[in-house]
Amino acid sequence: MEQLKGKHALVTGGGRGIGLAIARELLRHGASVTLAGRSEAALDAAVAELSPLGAVRSQRMDVAESASVQHGIAAAAAAAGRIDILVNNAGQAESAAIGKTDDALWARMLAVNLSGVFYCSRAVLPGMLEAGWGRIVNVASTAGLIGYAYTAAYCASKHGVVGLTRAMALEVAAKGVTVNAVCPGFTETDLSREAIANISARTGRSEAEAKAALAAFNPQKRLVQPEEVAHAAVWLCLPASAAMNGQAVAVAGGEVT
């Protein structure tokens, strides 16, 4: 079971939701884990929850700021060793019609969802290449594979993540490092709960009706669970998954992508 014993994984946005679920699964496979994020309270709570499973620590870091990433990655490596596995999970989701998508919203989506993936990946790659082994898993979205109305900035950022994944994968293909993405459909997290509340407020539908509207995108007629995304993400980190490279794996119940 401990196929990742001796490996150090860093998970951005690791204090809650999909990131927390991925961190839990990495620990179960024997990795030591650094949870990175902006909220010290969320990170502290996550560390307390996960500590019984293995070696876990936190690192405050804002993925949208290049200097913060450089400092955070260096501090994490100094504290727990070279980063062998990077899970780029931190992200934000906001919706607006294209005509109401202002410059600030556009910049926020690209800064966190896309630039953050680039900054973190660029920071860990030298160590992975020197070691001749590494795994980068980017948490994208089905919005990185298809379009959704009223989420132009979010879709653009997640399409960018998929493209960046494929480009990086080709650069490192012969060097022992793989780069892949998982693309969840609507998943039961704080982000989806916020989306449900917004739909309910804007349309007058009940929260149950708004949740059903999101679940309808999934042919299984349900929201994906964070643990389901975590299983897919960690599978891509295993030594036996070395042939998986440059892939964008949909975790979406069969939603056409």
CA distance 121 to 137: 10
Helix axes 226-235, 17-28, angle to 10 degrees: 50
**Rounded to the nearest 5°, which phi and psi values hold at 115?**
-60, -35
Determine which one of 119, 148, 150, 154 is catalytic: 154
How many angstroms separate the CA atoms of 33 and 150, rounded? Answer: 36
CB 90 within 8 A of CB 112: yes
Active site residue 154: yes
Tokens for 51? 């500590």
CA-CA distances (angstroms) from residue 7 to 24, 30, 32, 136? 14, 8, 6, 13
**Helix 152-172, helix 116-131: angle, nearest 10:** 10
Q: Which helix (H) or strand (E) holds 139?
A: strand 134-139
Give the DSSP H or E segment for 35. Answer: strand 32-37
How distant is the alpha carbon of residue 208 from its chain centre? 27
The DSSP call for residue 81 is -
CB 87 within 8 A of CB 233: yes
Active site positions, annotated: 154
